[in-house]
């Protein structure tokens, strides 16, 4: 059993994984916490599951450097297991071939590993969180980089927080592209703008890489647009956690 933690800018995801199957899954708001607070959080989460589901391995990826050490220490001390930090410098199951591997977010490395070992390569992973990331992994399991763009929600908030006449709106698929009210216009711009961004960037990556490879989507906001893209995709909401599991336990990698 592996406990996998994805510490994101907005949300922290915790999964209790049996192999690459999520036996339990939690999402909590990311904020500053002490190591003791992280320990109490982990204890309370694990108290909600069968006591026989005890992790013997742990992995963590983080895009919040100030919180990484405290959380890793809390996982190790609370659960009594070593905690592997997944990043561009660690042995994570994919070869990281970029100019500055130390600067690559651990979630992007985990996504590449998850896509490669779950679905094979080459593949493009699109993850919609605070940022929207596009990452490319080759057929040989080499991570070669990608694209970082504003996330769907981040872009929408920027719109209504900085344009004084525009209200906050529900982010959803509108009935048509041409809106007849301000709210409908905003919803159209947010939804179809995100759809066009994914469509356009994926096709640019296809052209540059020389093949129309598999596209794997993850991140909760991808559920909004996944069915409207003009090409086949795989949607895997637990991809990052699976990638952490592959990074932590090399024995899981045998299928590729």
**Average pLDDT for residues 210-228, to the nearest whole number?**
93
- Known catalytic residues are 107
**Average pLDDT for residues 44-49, to the nearest whole number?**
90
Query: Over 90: is that where the pLDDT of 180 sits?
Result: yes
> Out of 3.40.630.10, 3.30.420.40, 1.10.3720.10, 3.30.160.20, which CATH number does the structure's domain 121-238 have?
3.30.420.40
Top-tier CATH class for 2-111+240-255: alpha beta
Query: Over 60: is that where the pLDDT of 217 sits?
Result: yes
Both tokens of 42, joined, read 């982990």
Round to whole Å and give the CA distance between 47 and 58.
Answer: 17
β-partners of residue 17 are: 2, 22
Q: What are the helix (H) ranges across 168-250?
A: 182-209, 239-248
pTM: 0.92
- Listed in sequence order, the residues at least 6 apart from 63 whose beta carbon sits closer than 8 Å to its beta carbon are 7, 8, 9, 105, 106, 107
Confidence at residue 190, expressed as pLDDT on a 0 to 100 scale? 93
Mean pLDDT rounded to a whole number for the chain:
92
Largest CA distance in the chain: 58
pLDDT digits (tens, 9 = 90+) for 71-108: 999 998 888 888 899 999 989 999 999 999 999 999 99
Domain range summary for the chain, segments of one domain joined by +: 2-111+240-255, 121-238
Round to whole Å and give the CA distance between 68 and 136.
Answer: 25
The DSSP element (H or E) to which 119 belongs, if any, is helix 106-119
CB count in 10 Å sphere of residue 212: 15
């Amino acid at each position: 059993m592996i406990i996998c933690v994805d510490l994101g800018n907005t949300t922290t995801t915790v999964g209790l994984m049996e192999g690459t199957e999520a036996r339990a899954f939690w999402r909590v708001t990311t904020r500053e916490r002490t190591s003791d607070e992280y320990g109490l959080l982990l204890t309370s989460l694990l108290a909600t599951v069968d006591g026989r589901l005890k992790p013997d391995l742990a992995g963590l990826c983080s895009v919040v450097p100030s919180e990484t050490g405290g959380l890793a220490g809390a996982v190790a001390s609370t659960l009594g297991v070593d905690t592997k930090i997944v990043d561009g410098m660690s042995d994570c199951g994919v070869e990281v071939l970029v100019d500055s591997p130390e600067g690559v977010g651990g979630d992007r490395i985990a996504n590449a590993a998850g896509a490669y070992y779950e679905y094979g390569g080459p593949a493009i992973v699109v993850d919609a969180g605070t940022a929207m990331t596009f990452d490319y992994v080759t057929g040989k399991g080499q991570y070669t980089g990608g694209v970082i763009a504003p996330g769907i929600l981040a872009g929408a908030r920027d719109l209504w927080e900085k344009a004084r006449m525009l209200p906050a709106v529900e982010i959803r698929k509108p009935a048509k592209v041409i809106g007849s009210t301000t709210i409908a216009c905003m919803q159209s711009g947010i939804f179809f703008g995100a759809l066009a961004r994914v469509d356009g960037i994926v096709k640019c990556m296809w052209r540059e890489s020389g093949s129309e490879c598999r596209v794997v989507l993850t991140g909760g906001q991808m559920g909004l647009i996944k069915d409207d893209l003009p090409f086949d995709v795989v949607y895997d909401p637990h991809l990052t956690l699976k990638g952490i599991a592959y990074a932590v336990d090399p024995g899981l990698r045998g299928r590729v």
